[in-house]
Amino acid sequence: NRRVVLNSRPSGAPTRDNFRIEEQPVTEPAQGEVLLRTVYLSLDPYMRGRMNEGPSYAPPVELGEVMVGGTVSRVEASRHPDFQPGDLVLGYSGWQEYEVCDGSGLNKLPAQFPHPSYALGVLGMPGFTAYVGLLDIGAPKGGETLVVAAATGAVGSAVGQIAKLKGCRTVGIAGGEEKCRIAVEEFGFERCLDHHRADLAAQLKEACPKGIDIYYENVGGKVFQAVWPLLNQHARVPVCGLIAHYNQFGPGEGPDRLPLLMGAVLARRIRVQGFIISDHYETRLADFTREMGQWVRDGQVQAREQLIEGLDQAPQGLIDLLAGKNLGKVVVRVSPQ
């Protein structure tokens, strides 16, 4: 059983040395257990947070422990009444080829599921995050302007497409011309702006002549700096992620803009609300599964994946994801389906 464990904690951007690849024998399942073979492993920005010491909204990965992660796996052997060899299941085996577990937290993928790896992306946690953050906190209305960054990523691409289905004018922000072209051509953004350009703030102002009603916050940093002067009265800001800061150490540089920002929140009656998707499964997963499943089947929501071959490539995959070198939902193919 090949597995990737946390070797050391990063300070700043993670490096290959922070990970270690180990081999262990595969064990047999005991009564009530199943043996899973990982087919797909999801790589996600939150994994950077789990590499830090100290609690956040979830406990950290300990040194020497297997890196955490959502997986689609094949049941290889089962001594559990609910699972048969050959079943495909969504679980949380982490960065390893095999896992023996007691079946809790496993969900069988329905036979008609379009692509198994979508269970980690557009029809899984990131798609659900887009759905809940946008609809329940962003509360989009027809004719409003929505802005989202990381617009070709797993969450951002779904946010843009759902907002468009709800009648919003969607403006994406992404890193580089190629990503911006894809945002417009594949995900239907009306405009997409490259955040590497020095004139981002001026471009955004021009692209949002009626201001911004919903800013779905994925990144923070200079994108947020460009956005907040344009937020309209009663704007909504679902705070989903702040990836520009995940590799940052300490409070960062620059003047303290907090008084100005909070002044704008007050005077313009802006609603800023953070959320963690794990809180919403019980109440909203069924709606998401039904509605998003239909949109994907109908072709109204498109998904783009970047497949990485082999578990050994997972560390570099995460390093690249945090540096914006991915294009679409990053999935590691650990073994053949």
Q: Which residues contribute to the site for ligand NDP (CB under 6 A)?
A: 44-46, 126, 129, 149-150, 152-156, 174-175, 179, 195, 218-219, 221, 223, 240-241, 243-244, 275-277, 321, 324, 326, 329
CB of 166 to ligand NDP, least distance (A): 19
CB of 34 to ligand NDP, least distance (A): 27
Other beta carbons within 10 angstroms of residue 124's beta carbon come to 21
Of 96 and 326, nearer to ligand NDP (C-beta) is 326
CB of 246 to ligand NDP, least distance (A): 7
- C-alpha 194/C-alpha 36 separation (Å) is 42
- C-alpha 212/C-alpha 170 separation (Å) is 10
Contacts of 325 (CB under 8 A, 6+ apart): none
CB 121 within 8 A of CB 303: yes
CB of 75 to ligand NDP, least distance (A): 27
Of 211 and 274, nearer to ligand NDP (C-beta) is 274
CB of 191 to ligand NDP, least distance (A): 14
Of 241 and 317, nearer to ligand NDP (C-beta) is 241
- C-alpha 225/C-alpha 200 separation (Å) is 10
| Residue spans of alpha helices (H) in the chain | 46-50, 125-132, 154-165, 177-187, 200-207, 221-227, 258-267, 281-298, 314-322
CB of 24 to ligand NDP, least distance (A): 29
- C-alpha 12/C-alpha 14 separation (Å) is 6
Of 67 and 219, nearer to ligand NDP (C-beta) is 219
CB of 334 to ligand NDP, least distance (A): 19
- C-alpha 11/C-alpha 19 separation (Å) is 13
Of 87 and 275, nearer to ligand NDP (C-beta) is 275
- SS3 (DSSP) at 99: strand
Of 168 and 174, nearer to ligand NDP (C-beta) is 174
Of 176 and 211, nearer to ligand NDP (C-beta) is 176
CA dihedral (173, 175, 176, 181) positive or negative:
negative
- C-alpha 30/C-alpha 334 separation (Å) is 24
